Amino acid sequence: MVNAHDLLWGMTPAHLPADAPAWAVEAIGAGHPVVVRRAITQPGLVAVGVRGRLREQRLAAEMPVKAVQWRVIPEALRGVVSPRNLPALRALAALQTVLANESWGVTGSAGFELATGIEALHAQSDLDLILRTPEPLARGDAEDLLAILDTAECAVDLQLQTPFGAVALREWASGSRRVLLKTVSGAHLVLNPWQAVA
């Protein structure tokens, strides 16, 4: 069972679409992992994203489940120490105690770099985090957490992972009546991210 934001190793250039750009073939050929994305696929396949060196180099693809050789989940990356001294990594270190009692992990460029050692972060990079919230998070608690994250050294984008998808902490804390829930079937405006989308 794989989840959005998991990193998977084992994809080969042969698994890429025939019209895949050269940078994607190069990344997969170099043994880089792909990241699981939210999308509906045929049985035996997992929806993944290939990332290149540049921010705009992102390719949606599918990987056979049987090709997966290794999987790293976001939670496994929160304790990884990087030798690099960048705002996103300093922010990650500073937030360890704040999130110590929670089920959380590192995603995005920081997660990719911590998992692979490939430099994906720069001085202006955001820190992307995921917080597993099987039970509803009160909006007041979301506001309190956001206030702490907003004191970090860089912008922190935290996604609340509910049983039905993911919602941005910032949006849930904003007081908006409806919020955007990202699910395998797409994004939906919902009143309650902890309820199945009708």
Q: Active-site residue 126, yes or no? A: yes
Q: How far, in Å, CA of 13 to CA of 26, rounded?
A: 8
Using alpha carbons, select from 74, 77, 58 the residue that is nearest to residue 159: 74
Quote the tokens at residue 116: 């692979």
Angle at 27 between CA 113 and CA 7, to 5 degrees: 45
Selected catalytic residue, list 19, 126, 141, 150: 126
Question: Which parts of the chain are beta strand (E)?
Answer: 7-9, 34-36, 45-51, 58-64, 70-72, 104-107, 127-132, 156-162, 165-168, 179-183, 186-190
Q: How far, in Å, CA of 116 to CA of 196, rounded?
A: 35
Selected catalytic residue, list 6, 19, 128, 144: 128
Its sign, for the CA torsion 170, 174, 175, 179, is negative
Q: Active-site residue 128, yes or no? A: yes
Tell me which residues are annotated as active site: 126, 128
